Amino acid sequence: MLLDVEELHVRYGRTHAVRGVSLSLNEGEVVTVLGANGAGKSSLLRALAGVVRPAAGRIRFGKEEVTHAAAPDRVRRGLVLVPEGRQILVSLTVHENLQMGAYCRTDADVGRDFAAIYDRFPNLAGRRDMPASVLSGGEQQMLAISRALLARPRLMMLDEPSLGLSPLLVARLFDLIGALNRDGLAILLVEQNTGMALRAASRGYVMELGRVVLDGPADALADNDALAAAYLGAH
Ligand code: ATP
């Protein structure tokens, strides 16, 4: 098992955003976390990334416990978040944004990995020295994912990557998620686009008010009438 989360709680003052979530993910697996706005999905990912401190619970990544590890330490171990809203620094160049992803690396393969990114995303290569503000929303999402790839993740956590993208770009994004997974990358995908997410994932969890209310194989969730009534009609 690559990620094992036990009874995780996140609180912001009096708001109890995550209320005892347990979740697991195997090497090479795509798992999705679904749920309405405010269900606690982002808070869960932020706690896994070490951006917020869990109030209780345990997070294991690989063979180690990382519940209290600092965020950069988790990145070094390969636990990498692509945050909601992408968090691109638009006044920096495309290349400088990518460099931020590789900041924790000291190995000799960094140059090769940059070349592979520019190979895969010609739109980024053509604009490498321009400010990231010239990129479209879809290209900014590619940049955010590329930045995460440069950290050499073992698990990439994506927080609503399809938000604000046109249907064509959403399809391209999910093609990319599929391709990265075929290369062996494990992915934890938070999405409101339930249909696409369940097609990309092998398993899913549904959150409501900070709790997991349903989980199982993606095809079973896609056939679940209650889930369909609550979410699948939304897209
Ligand atoms: P969304 O899709 O809107 O991001 P979500 O499922 O990711 O929803 P969270 O963003 O994790 O949900 O929010 C869960 C709860 O925690 C909500 O009630 C939200 O208002 C609250 N919350 C989130 N971040 C903070 C914060 N920094 N301070 C206080 N409350 C917060």
Q: Which CATH number fits domain 1-78+154-235: 2.40.50.100, 3.40.140.10, 3.40.50.300, 3.40.50.970?
A: 3.40.50.300
Nearest CA to ligand 1 atom 2: 37
Of 140, 205, 145, 147, residue with least CA distance to 176: 145
Say what the pTM is. Answer: 0.94
Alpha helices for the chain (secondary structure H): 41-49, 71-77, 94-101, 110-120, 122-125, 137-149, 167-182, 194-200, 218-222, 225-230
pLDDT of residue 235: 42
Q: Which atom of ligand 1 is nearest to the CA of 207?
A: 6
- Report the pocket of ligand 1 as residue ranges, CB < 6 Å: 12, 15, 17, 35, 37-43, 84
Q: Tell me how far the alpha carbon of residue 129 lies from the centroid of ligand 1, in angstroms.
A: 35
Half-sphere CA count of 105, side-chain side, radius 13 A: 21
Q: What is the pLDDT of residues 167-187, one digit of tens each?
A: 999 999 999 999 999 999 999
CA of 12 to the centre of ligand 1 (A): 9
* Closest ligand 1 atom number to CA of residue 160: 2
What are the tens digits of pLDDT across the range 8-62? 999 999 999 999 999 999 999 999 999 988 999 999 999 999 999 999 999 999 9
Neighbours of 187 (CB within 10 A): 22
Dihedral of the CA atoms 162, 31, 39, 18 (nearest 10)?
-130
118-155 pLDDT, tens digit each: 999 999 999 999 999 999 988 999 999 999 999 999 99
At residue 37, the pLDDT reads: 87
Mean of pLDDT over the chain: 93
Q: Which of 194, 199, 197 is nearest to 36 (CA)?
A: 194
Q: Residue 234: which pLDDT band, with cuts at 50, 70 and 90?
A: very low
126 Cα: distance to centroid of ligand 1 (angstroms): 37
Q: Whose CA is nearest to atom 25 of ligand 1?
A: 12
Share of residues in the chain with pLDDT > 70 (%): 98
Domain boundary assignment for the chain: 1-78+154-235, 88-152
What is the CB-side half-sphere exposure of residue 41 using CA atoms within 13 A? 27
User: What distance in Å separates the CA atoms of residue 187 and residue 152, rounded to the nearest whole number?
Assistant: 13
Minimal-distance CA residue to ligand 1 atom 16: 17
Is the Cα dihedral 105, 111, 115, 116 positive or negative? negative
Instruction: Using the mean position of ligand 1's atoms as its centre, give its distance from the Cα of residue 39 in Å.
Output: 7
Confidence class of residue 231 from pLDDT cuts 50, 70 and 90?
Answer: low
Kindly state the tokens that stand for 159.
């927080």
Hey, what are 213's tokens? 């209310």
Residues 111, 115, 119: CA angle, nearest 5 degrees = 170
**Between 122 and 105, where is the model more confident?**
122
The stretch 63-70 carries a mean pLDDT of 96
Report the nearest-CA residue for atom 4 of ligand 1. 42
